[in-house]
């Protein structure tokens, strides 16, 4: 996969993309990430990428010309997703991450200041994404969040076999608790079943813990999760009275 990122702060991306899973995925050739400084496409001598809003009011608006020129230079003739990061976009979820991970290329435009000229939304971006209902100073952190969530889904990116498919949210449930050595720490023992060596019992315990944790913390997810009839029985026993998703 190739990911291109347009920003006026390319230096923000250096350390997050040079650590951990993204670093390894780049080294393995699973993803090729390029950041571009939008100022390189500014045409005036001050390298201006923003201007005051027509009609007055505070703040600065990102100009259309450098962004159009940069996108046109980077994407060639190909039709690729051109994603504007903005708090007005569709909400980023694990499902959106899975959708983006199926593309060969992604191009992110990081908006800054009060926003971008509307013609960028209307005539250039093919998608607009928000990472949550809060306002960041710009799209850079959002582009990093999305890149991280997408790259770890690429086959081979996680160095271990417990697939990303088992993660919280990917299954539609939160994961239950995890433990490692020592078996007793400050008087707190781990659940006995985990050392029983009985795989079916461990699997059942894990599933019930995931259901319990989701019920306690995110009962809204239960209405959408893919659940077996056994899961549903356990949830009813635990007191869940809400709806379940239609089976497909
Ligand atoms: N830019 C500013 N806030 C943002 C958000 N919540 N998501 C994506 N881009 C943004």
- What global pTM score does this model have? 0.94
Q: pLDDT above 90 covers what percent of the chain? A: 91
Catalytic residue among 65, 167, 175, 204: 167
For 186-239, write each residue's pLDDT tens digit: 999 999 999 999 999 999 999 999 999 999 999 999 999 999 999 999 999 999
> 13 pLDDT exceeds 60?
yes
* Shortest-distance Cα residue to atom 6 of ligand 1: 87
> 11 pLDDT exceeds 80?
yes
Atom of ligand 1 nearest to the CA of 92: 7
Rounded to the nearest angstrom, the distance between the alpha carbon of 83 and the centre of ligand 1 is 12
CATH (residue range 2-151): 3.40.1280.10
Q: Domain ranges for the chain, please list them.
A: 2-151, 168-248
pLDDT band at 159 (very low <50, low <70, confident <90, very high): confident
| 100's tokens | 């983006």
Active site residue 99: no
> Residue 241: CB within 6 Å of ligand 1?
no
> Residue 70: CB within 6 Å of ligand 1?
no
**DSSP states of the chain:** -EEEEEES-GGGGTTGGGSHHHHHHHHTTS-EEEEEEGGGG--STT---EEPPTT--SS-EE-HHHHHHHHHHHHTT----EEEEEEEEEEP-HHHHHHHHTSSEEEEEE-BTTEE-HHHHHHT-SEEEESSSS--SBSHHHHHHHHHHHHTTSTT-SSSSS-GGGSTTTSSS-------S-SEETTEEPPGGGGS--HHHHHHHHHHHHHHHHHHH-HHHHTTS---HHHHHHHHHTT--S--PPP-
For 88-128, write each residue's pLDDT tens digit: 999 999 999 999 999 999 999 999 868 999 999 999 999 99
> Residue 146: CB within 6 Å of ligand 1?
no
Region 55-80 average pLDDT: 94
Domains 2-151 and 168-248 share a fold: no
Active site residue 87: yes
The superfamily CATH assigns to domain 168-248 is: tRNA(m1g37)methyltransferase, domain 2 (1.10.1270.20)
Active site residue 206: no
């Amino acid at each position: 996969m190739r990911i291109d990122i347009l920003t006026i702060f390319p230096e923000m991306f250096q350390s997050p993309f040079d650590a951990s899973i993204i670093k390894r995925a780049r080294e393995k050739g699973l993803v090729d990430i390029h950041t571009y400084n939008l100022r390189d496409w500014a045409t005036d001598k001050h390298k201006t990428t923003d201007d005051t809003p027509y009609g007055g009011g505070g703040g600065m608006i990102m100009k259309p010309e450098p962004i159009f020129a940069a996108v046109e230079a980077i994407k060639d003739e190909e039709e690729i997703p051109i994603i504007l990061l903005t708090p007005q976009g569709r909400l980023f979820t694990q499902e959106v991450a899975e959708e983006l991970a199926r593309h060969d290329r992604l191009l992110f435009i990081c908006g800054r200041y009060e926003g971008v000229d509307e013609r960028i939304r209307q005539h250039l971006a093919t998608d607009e994404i928000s990472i949550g209902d809060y306002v960041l100073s710009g799209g850079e952190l959002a582009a990093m969040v999305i890149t991280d969530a997408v790259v770890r889904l690429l086959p081979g990116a996680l160095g271990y076999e417990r697939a990303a498919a088992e993660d919280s949210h990917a299954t539609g449930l939160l994961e239950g608790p995890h433990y490692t050595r020592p078996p007793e720490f400050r008087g707190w023992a781990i659940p006995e079943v985990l050392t029983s060596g009985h795989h079916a019992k461990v699997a059942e315990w894990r599933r019930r813990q995931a259901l319990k944790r989701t019920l306690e913390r995110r009962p809204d997810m239960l209405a959408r999760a893919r659940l077996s009839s056994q899961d549903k029985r356990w949830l009813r026993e635990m007191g869940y009275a809400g709806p379940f998703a239609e089976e497909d």
